[in-house]
Structure 1
Amino acid sequence: MSHKIILLVCLAATVCSAAKVPIAIYYESLCPDSAKFITEQLHPAMKTELRDVVELTFVPFGKSQYVTQGADVTFTCHHGPNECYGNRVHACAIEHIQANSYQTEYTRESLTLDFINCLMRAGKNFPDNVYPGQRCAAENHINNWENIKTCANSTDGSQLLRKAGETTMRLKEPLTGVPTILFNEQFDKKSSDGAQVNFIGTVCKYAAAPQPRICAQHNSASGLGVSALLGSMVGLCLLRFLY
């Protein structure tokens, strides 16, 4: 009998587990506020079990602009030409980074996040004016830096950055600040601002049960104890499964 109960609980958890929370990060490669958010909030949070409930999308364009002349695309970026190059590197990395079958501890998502975090941590301080792409690739198990660099210096990189621009310009509410963080493909200023100072707590407001354990310290919903709240949600899932 106990084995049947365990099986039912497991099945109920599977049935009730929600899809990951889609989170889109609209940012710029040389923006200090973007760097602060990614290196101090996003990256540390995604090294916890929170990574299992989040689906990240990076859009490296921000307040940039572009004009097209035939097949050519010319960009003007918020923090100057170096940022335009950085944005292209980010766009190419997002497109081309792949996990290797012999490095099972890394996923495409974790490699991309670690690479972007390294680039953002470098900020505007490039020793000898050398962009840190190759160094960040070597430090973060990225084996195809040459492909990323070639992309960033070609029309492929320009087209990828243009796509990021089109995605940014399709926002229902025009971008007013960088970074801007969207949850569930919807802009909510309170959530976007909150995520920049408490990313974990903000994500936990969107994550469905069963939530990762790290949410417990951020959950104060309706004065209920977290264990009681999660227990009641699991119970509802179990009842829904049984009936």
Structure 2
Amino acid sequence: MSHKLVLLACLAVTVCSAAKVPIAIYYESLCPDSAKFITEQLYPAMQTELRESVELTFVPFGKSQFVTQGAETMFTCHHGPNECYGNRVHNCAIEHIQANSYQIEYTRESLTLNFINCLMKAGKNFPDNVYPGQRCATENHINNWENIKMCANSTDGSNLLKKAGETTQRLKEPLTSVPTILFNEQFDKDVNQRVQVNFLGTLCKYVSAPQPRICSEHNGASGLVGAGSALLGSLLGLWFLRYLY
């Protein structure tokens, strides 16, 4: 391969990498709003071709607090001790889930998202008080649940949770609501509110051209709705004028 071709290949890789939209999700494992966003907005959108345009970062900590006493770190979580355990499981899963060479249809990213989505779907309703970690691991082709569980029950899990807390505390705009979603490492209050009811449409505004077809379809559908509303408004206006005169 010539030097020119090598340079072009490197440039192509750089452009492709730069095209991905960095999205960071600051959330809590037992937060109903976090569960609603992940299961109803994020996960469905990531089952489309848009997944190729996104680089997701999960930060499971939220409004939790921690204090360090000697070698030990003590946590207080927004929804109680069960959430502290859940946050540790999420952090350990993010750290330890790996794709297998014999399961080429799954990537590390897709396995992690599938596992988190399953845990968030379970919410606070655990049958027989059994945390759904093993069930979600089995259902989503994750073969190292025992390692994740061991991490969550050890200082490794505490260290990862503390690291997530430190990441949360470094936000330029202090976290005031959960979930908080950052695009391109920037917090925007209006975007954060909009993305929780229309993640796909909001994401399409950040994706570089050429946009995936689903963005055109989504924008087209929105345009049709807007046009329909305008037409209805005009008809009602004409009817009202006719009624007056």
TM-score where L is the length of structure 1 = 0.83
Counting aligned pairs with the same residue, the percent is: 85
The CA distance in 1 between the partners of 2:175 and 2:204, in whole Å, is 24
* 2:75 paired residue number: 75
* 1:232 paired residue number: none
Within 5 Å, give how 1:40-189 maps onto structure 2.
Answer: 40-189=40-189
SS at match of 2:66: strand
Residue 219 of structure 1: CA displacement? 3.4
The CA distance in 2 between the partners of 1:170 and 1:133, in whole Å, is 29
Q: Is the 8 A contact 1:45 1:200 kept in 2?
A: yes
Residue 15 of structure 1: CA displacement? 5.7
SS at match of 1:137: helix
* 1:23 paired residue number: 23
The CA distance in 2 between the partners of 1:17 and 1:106, in whole Å, is 20
Unaligned ranges ≥5, structure 2:
1-10, 224-245
The CA distance in 1 between the partners of 2:130 and 2:196, in whole Å, is 29
* 1:35 paired residue number: 35
Unaligned ranges ≥5, structure 1:
1-10, 224-243
Paired AA for residue 152 in structure 1: A
Q: Is the 8 A contact 1:89 1:149 kept in 2?
A: yes
Paired AA for residue 56 in structure 2: L
Residue 192 of structure 1: CA displacement? 1.1
Paired AA for residue 153 in structure 1: N
* 2:212 paired residue number: 212
Specify the structure having the higher radius of gyration (Cα).
2
Residue 19 of structure 1: CA displacement? 2.1
- The verdict on how the C-alpha distance between 1:16 and 1:88 changes in structure 2, with shifts beyond 3 A counting, is closer
Residue 77 of structure 1: CA displacement? 0.3
Provide the aligned C-alpha RMSD in A: 1.9
The CA distance in 1 between the partners of 2:202 and 2:192, in whole Å, is 9
